[in-house]
Structure 1
Amino acid sequence: MAALCVAAAFGPAEAREYRYSDAHLHFVDFFQESDGIDKLIEAMDKGRIDHVMISGIPVAKKWHENEPKRPRYYAGDDAPVYWYSATDVVIAAAVKELDEEQRKRFHPFLSGFNPNDKNADAHIRRMLELDPGLWQGLGEVFTRHDDVTALTEGDTPRANNEALARVYHLAAEFDLPVMLHSNITSKRERNPLYLAELEEPLRNHPHTRFIWAHAGTSMEIHRHQEQLDFLLPTVTRLLNDYPNLYIDLSWTMLRPYLLDKDGKPNRDWVALVEKYPERFMIGTDVVGRFDNLASGIRDFVPFLDALPEAVARKVARDNFLDVLPRHGAHPR
């Protein structure tokens, strides 16, 4: 009888059909290669994805002279990665080849700049002026990022450095959201070791909208620490304190946070999203390959189904559109 009650309670949710926005998608991989825009559109249509945040990868992996075989991923060997501005040229070219109707579905974020360089804001301004109206956000900006941080040539980026402060001012000037990758902690520290690096810009730049990529988590952190007990209370406090903060619930948030090991929704995270229904969005975080795009976005369905339907539809699709520049027309 209890099983029948549970089935009845979840019956209406199971019948929902969602349309999606993918709020975190990289058109290229760490070698700046891609399946291409046609395959991306095909995958979007298959997954009922109406809109995507489309960005490059701000670093490129070096194939070192001493390596006989090209690595398959940035962590494939010890060769470094380096800042790669041409990633934005690739994004712009892909979007510009689309017809007007398809182009409305794509929301390019500019990412190809060095966040340690105080010239970065000048470079971004030039890019914005070269293609007026093309860019709808900045990011994903890499700061604390697992082994990418260790492999990146040059200084370690921090979300609260002076170079990025200049970028945040520019983002507010152009009304652009900033997607920021800033790990909340390291692989070994069971405390919010790097939280101050995120919180300082949230506090100092109240007119800039920040999208926190997968709430500061990563697969590498999970591999070493599994679940961060302090994450939920920390995100709760930040959302209360900073109305300019939005949370990207991309793939590393699915487990062990949004869903348990049996695939059931985490009621505490459901309650938090219900409390802040306009501050969360979902994304796949794919990198240049789109075969799993549709299945990746559908992985969020059990969590969405646990939300009130109106909230679920905001999280699935509309919240991402609402964070984009207010002067732009974003068709629904």
Structure 2
Amino acid sequence: MRLLAAMGLALSVLAAPPAGAADILPIFDAHLHYSHDAWESVPPQEAIAILRQAGLKRAMVSSSNDDGTQRLLAAAPDLIVPELRPYRTRGEIGTWMRDETVLAYVEERLKKYRYAAIGEFHVYGADADLPVVRRLVELARQHRLFLHAHSDADAVDRLFLQDPQARILWAHAGFARPEAVREMLARHRHLWCDLAFRSDHATGGKVDAAWRAVFEAFPDRFMVGTDTFTPERWHYIGEHANFSRAWLADLPKDLAERIAWRNGEALLGRMMDGR
């Protein structure tokens, strides 16, 4: 399935503008990972070169563990927007919400470094009410950070019940249909969506009508992303950026720019600039 998705993205970029074009649309990539297996195969300087060659204005990066994010941030503070993932290894994806030692790790990193968000973390349904997750929501409120949640709608609702003023970036827009995404955005005014690793919103460079309606109704609530959940996906970041540019070109210019980079810059980039 991953291979087919990558092939589909590669075919889609044929209609995209060439990298390096003077009028290339900047991209704020709101969903990247640089975990231990990635930094072993793609050293920091190479990773930064990939991001710049892809025409990224900013890249929000998390990693398991956080050392990967800090390495990229040190190499390119103008480019990297750091977020803190509560996983110390990939193997904690399904266990972190029941592991109280995660909290000591998160609190230690929050004291030492600056971040724009906590995440991306995976939590579903009633697990969002577990004590470890509740404390994460408290820490995000305390440090004025976004929560980047790979969750179903039920878990997102539960997170907002804990803190109605929380700011949540819903990873992959919950892999939900556009009608369900629209309903969630209408219900939660502090909910934003990244569109990483999904292509149902566009075919052949043309935006699906249902998705277009949601984008037009909530122009300030969407961002694009890559999701480098495996090291090899780092080598396709340029293609993923051009895939986004291809379908964004089917939208009005102002709307395309908002989704491509202005929303991410306004909401997340400015947090690192002190604005």
TM-score (norm 1): 0.67
Distance 1:328 1:32 in 2: 23
Q: Any gaps of 5 or more consecutive residues in structure 2?
A: 1-15, 88-95
Higher helix proportion: 2
Is the CA contact (8 Å cut-off) linking 1:239 and 1:245 kept in structure 2?
Answer: yes
Aligned residues: 246
Identity rate, percent = 24
CA contact 2:86–2:102 (8 Å) conserved in 1: no
Displacement, 1:211?
0.9
1:176–1:325: 8 Å Cα contact kept in structure 2?
no
Whether 2:213 is the aligned partner of 1:271: answer yes
Q: Which has the higher contact order (CA 8 A, sep 6+)?
A: 2
Q: Name the structure 2 match of 1:288.
A: 231
Aligned to 1:140: 120
Q: Summarize the Cα distance change of 1:160–1:248 in structure 2 as closer, same or farther, 3 Å threshold.
A: farther
One-letter code aligned to 1:300: S
User: Are residues 1:208 and 2:166 paired?
Assistant: yes
Residue equivalent to 1:129: 111
Q: Does the 8 Å contact 2:62/2:84 carry over to 1?
A: yes
Residue 93 (structure 1) aligns with: 71
- Please report how far the alpha carbon of residue 111 of structure 1 lies from its aligned counterpart in structure 2 after TM superposition: 0.7
1: CA distance, partners of 2:37 / 2:130: 24
Within the candidate set 20, 28, 40, 1:21 is matched to 28
Larger Rg: 1
State the Cα RMSD in Å: 2.7
- The C-alpha deviation readout for 1:274-330, integer Å capped at 9, x for no partner, is 111111000011233422111111111232112221111111112112222865417
Match of 1:166 in 2: 135
Please, which runs of 5 or more residues in structure 1 have no aligned partner?
1-12, 58-86, 145-155, 185-194, 218-227
Q: Which amino acid aligns with 1:302?
A: A
Is contact 1:55–1:108 with CA below 8 Å preserved after alignment?
Answer: yes
Distance of 1:160 and 1:32 partners within structure 2:
33
Q: Map 1:1-332; keep pairs closer than 5 Å.
A: 17-28=24-35, 33-57=40-64, 87-96=65-74, 98=75, 102-113=76-87, 114-131=96-113, 133=114, 135-144=115-124, 158-182=127-151, 184=152, 195-217=153-175, 231-251=177-197, 253-254=198-199, 257-260=200-203, 262-286=204-228, 287-289=230-232, 290-324=234-268, 328-329=272-273
Q: 1:103 aligns to what SS in structure 2? A: coil
SS of the aligned residue for 1:206 comes to coil
